[in-house]
Chains A and B, each alone.
Chain A
Amino acid sequence: MPALASFVCGLIFGAGLLISGMTDPQKVLGFLDLFGAWDATLAFVMAGAVAVAATGFAIARRRAAPAFSARFLWPDRNDIDTPLVGGAILFGIGWGLVGICPGPALVNLAGLSLPIVVFVVAMLAGMIGQNLFDKNLWRRRAAAPRAIESSPLPSRADG
């Protein structure tokens, strides 16, 4: 049941990306191009998405548990740290270069065009690379005993 629910959610999410036009990188770049022929559509997509998600989350907050699993896994961090800032900058540069972020990349994968396949493979490689980079950092910290106290505990992802 949770897997079926998750599939349906992915389907709705993908339909939303298609209908909103956000699977078209030119449309996304049109929003990011403040100094060109600016297309404000992305702001309306965000407004619609945040309004409905916030309503759903408010309902969820008043419930004891989700329908098909034991508990709500709300992200539990509130600190602004270097990886958050550095990661957001790197992501922003990549997003600005081609106008594709992870969700639309996967939806576009259905068309199997060469640039999209290249993008998705590179994106997965980047994610795996970041994992390995993180693990090495941990190993180095573990090797230096004094650094253990200052290293933050791994926490639930925000998204």
Chain B
Amino acid sequence: MHDFTPLSGFAGGALIGLAAALLMLLTGRIAGVTGIVGGLLQPDTADRRWRIAFIAGLIAAPLVAALFGAPLPRPAMNASLVVVAIAGVLVGFGTRMGNGCTSGHGVCGFARLSGRSIVATFIFMTAAIVTVAIVRHVIGG
């Protein structure tokens, strides 16, 4: 059901990179979703408008796609709601603690050749691969 789709993957990836490049060229900001959302949650953040605008853009993307007939994203998830909630807390806490996620460290960090981001990306990729291996092949196997 989930086939290898390198072409749409590369094209979609290029759009993600374009968005990151444009955000820097136009506003001077790094397109890191964790940093953008996290900044909004801090009481002393002065620059809220561009953050809200970026997040609104992310949420609007599937709504615009729906105008062209695409279905709204309602992804199937195998995990129970309890596991989903635990995963959400881990993702929120971890990305803030480590100062970034797949977009800030993964895409922008690699594009800047930042040692910090490259190390972070290898660590979270490895932790995720080990987690999937345990969930699917040790517990679920």
Contacts and interface: CB of A to CB of B under 8 A. Distances in A.
Interface of A: 2-27, 29-30, 32-36, 39-42, 44-57, 59-60, 63, 65-75, 77-80, 83-103, 105-116, 118-131, 133-134, 157-159
B28 A73 contact: yes
Interface string B44-59: 0000011111111111
B63 to A, nearest CB: 5
Contact of B101 (A59, A60, A78, A159): A159
Contacts of B83: 97-98
Given A68-B27, A102-B33, A126 B62 contact: no
Interface string B116-135: 11011101111111111101
B102 A57 contact: no
A79 B116 contact: yes
Interface of B: 1-6, 8-35, 37-39, 41-42, 49-65, 70, 72-77, 79, 81, 83-112, 114-117, 119-121, 123-133, 135-137
A49 B58 contact: no
Contact of A10 (B61, B117, B127, B135): B61
B61 A14 contact: yes
Interface of chain A: mostly helix, strand, loop or mixed: helix
Contact of A33 (B95, B126, B136): B136
| Most A CB within 10 A of own CB, among B1, B96, B104, B137 | B96
Nearest to B71: A111
A122 B81 CA distance: 11
Nearest to B113: A54
A127 to B, nearest CB: 4
Contact of B100 (A9, A113, A159): A159
Contacts of B94: 86-94, 126
A48 B16 contact: yes
Given A96-B127, A103-B103, A118-B85, A80 B95 contact: no
A22 to B, nearest CB: 7
Contacts of B1: 26
Contacts of A123: 88-89, 91-92
Contacts of B72: 110-112
A102 B95 CA distance: 9
A10 B54 contact: yes
A25 B86 CA distance: 16
B49 A46 contact: no
A109 to B, nearest CB: 6
A124 B42 CA distance: 11
Contacts of B124: 88-89, 91-92, 95
